[in-house]
RNA sequence: CGGGCCGUGGCGCAGCUUGGUAGCGCGCUUGACUGGGGGUCAAGAGGUCGCGAGUUCGAAUCUCGCCGGCCCGACCA
C-alpha cells in the first residue's frame, strides 16, 4: 500500500472542539471525522484498527463457541413494547414512524431481537447457545462527548447466551469473563473487572471492564491488596463504628436559627458533628415522594437509590415539592414522625441513636433521635457513595478511587426477556421453562479510543502491533532518487509478501513531514530508507513505542522486522 | 433540561467594542531551488462571514429569533 495513494488526512493542529487525548489524536491522525454531535465517520485508517479489534473479538468468541449473526438496526415497536422497554427507556431510544405510520425504533441493543430468534429453540438439548454480532447501536444520549468515548451511534459487539438453568448461565458468564480478559489484554488494554450496577438492563449480576483514564466518566473503587474492585455505583466500604453515647428518652426540639447545612449545624454551639447527624433528602419516585436518609457526612449515590427503589424515573424534589411534603425548607428536614411518605435509610444509620436531624420546622432541629425508635423506616439499603481511603469491605485496606472508561459490560439477565417474549424450551422432565439468558457487550469505537488513551505521547498515537492500522511503514526519504525508492519498494514488497501490514511512504514530502506523520499515526515500526544509509547498504529501524533505533542491513531488514512484528502479534 | 463559551476559505485563528473594499498562519495548485525532523522563493486557486428577519444610505460587526458545535452540571444499558 502506498501512502501517496491513500486517504490519510492528517492535521497539524488539534481540532478546536476536542478535549480528550483520544479525540484530538484520532481526528488529527486521520482516523475519524465528526458528522454531527455524537456521530462519527470512520476513515480508512480507523477502519483498519476497528477491523483488527473485531478480529480479536471474533477469534475469542468463536473460541468459546459463539456463532456470528447480523441483525437489523431497525426494529418494530411491538417487540420493545412486549419487553416493556418501549415505555421504560424514554428519550434515549430513537423512535420513528414508517410510511404506514407504524412505530419503529433504532435498536440500542439487541436483547429483544435475539430473544425472538431464541423462540425457535424447542428443547434443552439445543442449549447452550452463544450468539453474537457486530452491529450499530443508536442511543440518543443527552450529552455526547469526548470523541468516540460517548456517542449516539456506534458499533458494538454484543453477545447473548442461552441456557437451561442458572448453572448454565454461570458457566456462559465465566466463559465470557475469561474471553474478555484475553481480548482486552490482546488489544493492549489493562482492563479492571469490577462489580457493577445492572441499571435499566435488569438482571442480578453484572461485571464491567474498566480502563483507568482521565478521560473516563465512571469511578471505580479498588483495593490494591486483595483485588476487590467495584464501580462507585456499587462499591461498599467498612466504616469505623461511631460511639453515640447515652441517648435521650425522646427527641428534643431545639432552636437552630440560620442553620441551613450539615456544616452549619456541626459548627453551631450545641449542634452535632456531621457523623452524628441524619441527612434527609427528598426524592420524587414515579408519582410518590420519598425521604432518603443518610449519615450527615455521607453522599448519596443516585444509582444505588435507583437500584434500591427499582424505579426508573426518579429525581430530587424541588423546593416547592419539599415544602408541600414536609412543611419546611431544606436545612430543617427530618423523618421523625413522618408516616405519609416512604422513608428509606442507608445501612450506616442502622442502630444509631442520640442523633440530630431537622424538625420539619424552619430554624429547628431535633436531638436525641434514635433511628429505629423514632422513625418509620420502610427499607434499609446501601445508598451512600464510598470515598477514597475508606476501608476495603474484604480486607480493610484503604480503597483507591480511579476515573475509568467502561470498555465492556457483562450481565446475567436471567429470564426477564425470555419470559416476556416467550422463548421457552422443554427441560429433561418435559416441562416448559424460560431460557436463562446473559448479555455481553464491547463498544468497538470506544475500545479503539481507550487504546489511544492508554498508548500515546506528545508526538501522537503509539499503537500496539495487535491493533495498529499498519504494522510497519517504509519511509522513503527522497522518492525522486531512483536507487532509494527502489530499495524502499523492495523492502515493502518483501514485508507484504511475508504477511505484514505495511505501507510505503513514497510521498514527495520533506523527511520531517513523513517522520511526524508516521509518529502521529502511530505505526509501531518505521524503516527509513535514505541515500546516506544506502551507501553502506544500511537502513534504519525506529520503534514508535519507546523510540528505540537500530541500523539494519538492507538485505536483511524485511526478515528481521517480520520477526519483531510476529513476536508482538502473540 | 440548567449554566458558560463558540460558529469568518480544508485546519487553526484575527477582524466585531467604535458599521464603510474580508485578513493572517498552515494546508492546496503551478514552477524553480531543496532533500535525514513540518525548507525557501515566485505566481495562483479558494470565503452565501451558520441561517432568517430587523435597524441603517451601508451589517462579519448592532438588535431579535432560529440552527449547529464544545465544556460543566443534570442525565446515561
**A41-64: pLDDT as tens digits:** 999 999 999 999 999 999 999 999
* CA pair distance A28, A132, nearest whole angstrom: 33
- Would you place residue A314 in the very low, low, confident or very high pLDDT band (cuts 50, 70, 90)? confident
Percentage, residues of chain A above pLDDT 90: 84
User: pLDDT tens digit string along A485-497?
Assistant: 999 999 999 999 9
A318 vs A423, which has greater pLDDT?
A423
Average pLDDT of A20-24?
95
Radius of gyration, CA atoms only, chain A: 29
Give strand letter and number of the nucleotide nearest A517 (CA to C1'). B38
Q: Which fold has domain A252-381?
A: YbaK protein (3.90.960)
pLDDT at A202 over 60: no
Strand partners, A36: A39
Is residue A158's beta carbon less than 7 angstroms from any atom in nucleic acid strand B? no
- In this prediction, residue A200 carries a pLDDT of 56
Q: What Å value separates CA A300 and C1' B19? A: 55
* CA pair distance A210, A153, nearest whole angstrom: 21
Average pLDDT of A430-443?
96
Is residue A237's beta carbon less than 7 angstroms from any atom in nucleic acid strand B? no
Domain spanning A470-569: CATH 3.60.110.10: no
CATH number of A3-70+107-235+401-452: 3.30.930.10
Strand partners, A283: A290, A316
Is residue A35's beta carbon less than 7 angstroms from any atom in nucleic acid strand B? no
- Would you place residue A310 in the very low, low, confident or very high pLDDT band (cuts 50, 70, 90)? confident
Is residue A276's beta carbon less than 7 angstroms from any atom in nucleic acid strand B? no
User: pLDDT tens digit string along A280-296?
Assistant: 999 888 788 899 999 99
* CA pair distance A115, A203, nearest whole angstrom: 15
Q: How many other CB atoms are there within 10 angstroms of residue A549's CB atom?
A: 11
Is residue A513's beta carbon less than 7 angstroms from any atom in nucleic acid strand B? yes
Q: How many other CB atoms are there within 10 angstroms of residue A351's CB atom?
A: 11
pLDDT at A313 over 80: no
Q: Which residues contact A265 (CB under 8 A, 6 or more apart)?
A: A256, A259, A271, A272, A277, A296, A356, A365
Strand partners, A326: none
Write down the mean pLDDT value for chain A.
93
Q: Any alpha helices (H) in A30-96, and if so which ranges? A: 44-63, 77-83, 85-88
pLDDT at A396 over 60: yes
- Would you place residue A203 in the very low, low, confident or very high pLDDT band (cuts 50, 70, 90)? low
- In this prediction, residue A312 carries a pLDDT of 66
Is residue A142's beta carbon less than 7 angstroms from any atom in nucleic acid strand B? yes
Is residue A420's beta carbon less than 7 angstroms from any atom in nucleic acid strand B? no
CA angle A341/A345/A347 to nearest 5° reads: 165
Q: What Å value separates CA A36 and C1' B48? A: 22
Is residue A150's beta carbon less than 7 angstroms from any atom in nucleic acid strand B? yes
Please, what is the angle between helix A21-28 and helix A444-454, to 10°? 100
Average pLDDT of A226-245?
90
DSSP state of A3: G
* CA pair distance A126, A425, nearest whole angstrom: 9
- In this prediction, residue A324 carries a pLDDT of 87
Domain ranges of chain A: 3-70+107-235+401-452, 252-381, 470-569
Give strand letter and number of the nucleotide nearest A508 (CA to C1'). B35
- In this prediction, residue A284 carries a pLDDT of 86
Is residue A380's beta carbon less than 7 angstroms from any atom in nucleic acid strand B? no
Q: How many other CB atoms are there within 10 angstroms of residue A429's CB atom?
A: 7
Is residue A152's beta carbon less than 7 angstroms from any atom in nucleic acid strand B? no
- Would you place residue A243 in the very low, low, confident or very high pLDDT band (cuts 50, 70, 90)? confident
User: pLDDT tens digit string along A61-89?
Assistant: 999 999 999 999 999 999 999 999 998 88
Q: How many other CB atoms are there within 10 angstroms of residue A72's CB atom?
A: 11
Give strand letter and number of the nucleotide nearest A535 (CA to C1'). B36
Q: What Å value separates CA A267 and C1' B74? A: 30
Amino acid at each position: 500500500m502506498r501512502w501517496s495513494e491513500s486517504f490519510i488526512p492528517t492535521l497539524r493542529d488539534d481540532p478546536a472542539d476536542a478535549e480528550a487525548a483520544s479525540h484530538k489524536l484520532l481526528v488529527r491522525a486521520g482516523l475519524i471525522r465528526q458528522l454531527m454531535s455524537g456521530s462519527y465517520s470512520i476513515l480508512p485508517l480507523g477502519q483498519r484498527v476497528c477491523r483488527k479489534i473485531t478480529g480479536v473479538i471474533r477469534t475469542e468468541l468463536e473460541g468459546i463457541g459463539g456463532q456470528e449473526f447480523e441483525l437489523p438496526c431497525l426494529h418494530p415497536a411491538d417487540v420493545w413494547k412486549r419487553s416493556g422497554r418501549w415505555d421504560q427507556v424514554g428519550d434515549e431510544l430513537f423512535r420513528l414512524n414508517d410510511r404506514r405510520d407504524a412505530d419503529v425504533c433504532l435498536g440500542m441493543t439487541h436483547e429483544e431481537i435475539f430473544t425472538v430468534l431464541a423462540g425457535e429453540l424447542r428443547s434443552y438439548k439445543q442449549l447452550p447457545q452463544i450468539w453474537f454480532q457486530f452491529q450499530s447501536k443508536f442511543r440518543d444520549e443527552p450529552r455526547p462527548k469526548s470523541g468516540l468515548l460517548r456517542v449516539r451511534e456506534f458499533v458494538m459487539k454484543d453477545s447473548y447466551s442461552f441456557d437451561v438453568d442458572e448453572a448454565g448461565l454461570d458457566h456462559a458468564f465465566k466463559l465470557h469473563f475469561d474471553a474478555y480478559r484475553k481480548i482486552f489484554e490482546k488489544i493492549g488494554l489493562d482492563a479492571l473487572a469490577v462489580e457493577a450496577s445492572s441499571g435499566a438492563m435488569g438482571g442480578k449480576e453484572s461485571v464491567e471492564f474498566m480502563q483507568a483514564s482521565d478521560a473516563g466518566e465512571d469511578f471505580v473503587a479498588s483495593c490494591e491488596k486483595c483485588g476487590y474492585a467495584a464501580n462507585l455505583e456499587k462499591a461498599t466500604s467498612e466504616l469505623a463504628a461511631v460511639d453515640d453515647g447515652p441517648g435521650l428518652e425522646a427527641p428534643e426540639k431545639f432552636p437552630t436559627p440560620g442553620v441551613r447545612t450539615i456544616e452549619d449545624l456541626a459548627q453551631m454551639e450545641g449542634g452535632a458533628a456531621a457523623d452524628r447527624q441524619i441527612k434527609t433528602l427528598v426524592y420524587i419516585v414515579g408519582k410518590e415522594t420519598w425521604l432518603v436518609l443518610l449519615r450527615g457526612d455521607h453522599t448519596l449515590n443516585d444509582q444505588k437509590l435507583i437500584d434500591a427503589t427499582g424505579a426508573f424515573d426518579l429525581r430530587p424534589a424541588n423546593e416547592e415539592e419539599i415544602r408541600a411534603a414536609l412543611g419546611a425548607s431544606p436545612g430543617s428536614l427530618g423523618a421523625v414522625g413522618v408516616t405519609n411518605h416512604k422513608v428509606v435509610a442507608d445501612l450506616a444509620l442502622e442502630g444509631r441513636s442520640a442523633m440530630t436531624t431537622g424538625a420539619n420546622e424552619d430554624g429547628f432541629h431535633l436531638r436525641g433521635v434514635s433511628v429505629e425508635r423514632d422513625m418509620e423506616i420502610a427499607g434499609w439499603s446501601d445508598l451512600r457513595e464510598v470515598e477514597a481511603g475508606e476501608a476495603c469491605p474484604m480486607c480493610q485496606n484503604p480503597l483507591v478511587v480511579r476515573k475509568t472508561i467502561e470498555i465492556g459490560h457483562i450481565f446475567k439477565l436471567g429470564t426477564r426477556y425470555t419470559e416476556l417474549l416467550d422463548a421457552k424450551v422443554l427441560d429433561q422432565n418435559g416441562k416448559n421453562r424460560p431460557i436463562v439468558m446473559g448479555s455481553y457487550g464491547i463498544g468497538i469505537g470506544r475500545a479503539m479510543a481507550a487504546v489511544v488513551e492508554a498508548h500515546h505521547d506528545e508526538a501522537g498515537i503509539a499503537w500496539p502491533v495487535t491493533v495498529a492500522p499498519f504494522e510497519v511503514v517504509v519511509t522513503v526519504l527522497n522518492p525522486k532518487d531512483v536507487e532509494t525508492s527502489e530499495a524502499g519498494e523492495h523492502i515493502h514488497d518483501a514485508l507484504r509478501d511475508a504477511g505484514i501490514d505495511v505501507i510505503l511512504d513514497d510521498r514527495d514530502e520533506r523527511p520531517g513531514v513523513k517522520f511526524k506523520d508516521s509518529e502521529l499515526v502511530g505505526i509501531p515500526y518505521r524503516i527509513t530508507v535514505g541515500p546516506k544509509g544506502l551507501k553502506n547498504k544500511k537502513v534504519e529501524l525506529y520503534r514508535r513505542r519507546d523510540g528505540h533505533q537500530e541500523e539494519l542491513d538492507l538485505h536483511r531488514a524485511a526478515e528481521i522486522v517480520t520477526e519483531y512484528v510476529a513476536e508482538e502479534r502473540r
